[in-house]
Amino acid sequence: MRAIRSSFFQMLAYMRRDMMLFAACPAPILAGLFFRYAIPFLEAVLADYFHMPAIISPYYRLIDVLFVMITPTMFCFVSAMVSLEEADEKTAAYLFITPLGRTGYLSARLGLPAVIAFLVTVILLPVFKLTTFSSIAILLLAACGTLQGVIVALLVAALSSNRLEGMAITKLSMLTVFGAVIPFFVKDSIQYALCPLPSFWIGKAGSENTLLYMFPAFALSAIWICFLLKWYLRKM
């Protein structure tokens, strides 16, 4: 536990040197403020400009769902970038044979940021949400959003062999988040083409207000994480 804590603080020190820590901490709050206040303002302006009763407001639920995934994706992505550089400079391989070990390394680089992201989402979502959610829905959404963040980080870390490929995979992995958009816009059965993405089920749970859809999201996230974790460990 001590090794994990030290490794996590070492990553924080590295991020502080890059100023990323100062950017990543207020970013969820800034995003929340934008979603909570700027979007309704924009909606009023656009509705007035186009003489329409509603333009963005039918998609407020989607904005909440995206907010749920933003903080974990951001936190896990930042730590994925650190581990990508450690993999590139072969530091990660050396850390694996210290008392930290593989599990400890993964806990410090992915586990702890994910737990923090979950807590931050659980605190911020009730403050910045545009639609109503029950307490259990907030907990389930935050958990699913966190797993989505872990998937994005693992995709970047597992599928790239250096930081350049990491950046290329970052672009592709971010697209997995947008599976949540589909249930809001595609109503016929073609939407199920994206059913392997956990984010699709998070979006579906949001669009149809049915928490039952969170279960496929959890199950798929577990499959994705197991598969990617195996890939990552084999690569290292």
The residues binding other proteins (CB under 8 A) are 14-15, 18-20, 23, 78, 81-82, 84-85, 88-89, 162-169, 171-172, 175, 185
Q: How far is the CB of 163 from other proteins (least distance, A)?
A: 5
Rounded to a whole number of angstroms, the minimum distance from the CB of residue 204 to other proteins is 18
DSSP per-residue string spanning the chain: -HHHHHHHHHHHHHHHHTTHHHHHTTHHHHHHHIIIIIHHHHHHHHHHHHT-S-SSGGGHHHHHHHHHHHHHHHHHHHHHHHHHHHHHTTHHHHHHTSTTHHHHHHIIIIIHHHHHHHHHHHHHHHHH-SS---HHHHHHHHHHHHHHHHHHHHHHHHH-SSHHHHHHHHHHHHHGGGGGGHHHH--SGGGGGGTTSHHHHHHHHHHHT-GGGHHHHHHHHHHHHHHHHHHHHHH-
Nearer to other proteins, 57 or 165 (CB): 165
CB count within 10 Å of CB 22 equals 11
Q: How near is the Cβ of 58 to other proteins at its closest, in Å?
A: 16
Cβ at position 75, least distance to other proteins in Å: 12
- Cβ of residue 226: shortest distance to other proteins, in angstroms? 24
For the CB of residue 81, give the shortest distance to other proteins in the complex, in Å.
5
Name which of 195 and 211 has its Cβ closer to other proteins.
195
Toward other proteins, which CB reaches closer, 119 or 164?
164
Residue closer to other proteins by CB (options 1, 50) is 50
> Which one, 55 or 211, has the nearer CB to other proteins?
55
What per-residue string of b and e applies to 104-140 under the rule 16 or more CB within 10 Å gives b?
Answer: bbbbbbbbbbbebbbebbbebbeebbbeebeeebbeb
The rounded Cα 142 to chain-centroid distance in angstroms is: 10
C-beta of 154: minimal distance to other proteins in Å?
17
Q: Which CB atom, from 172 or from 233, has the smaller least distance to other proteins?
A: 172
Of residues 138 and 153, the one with the C-beta less far from other proteins? 153
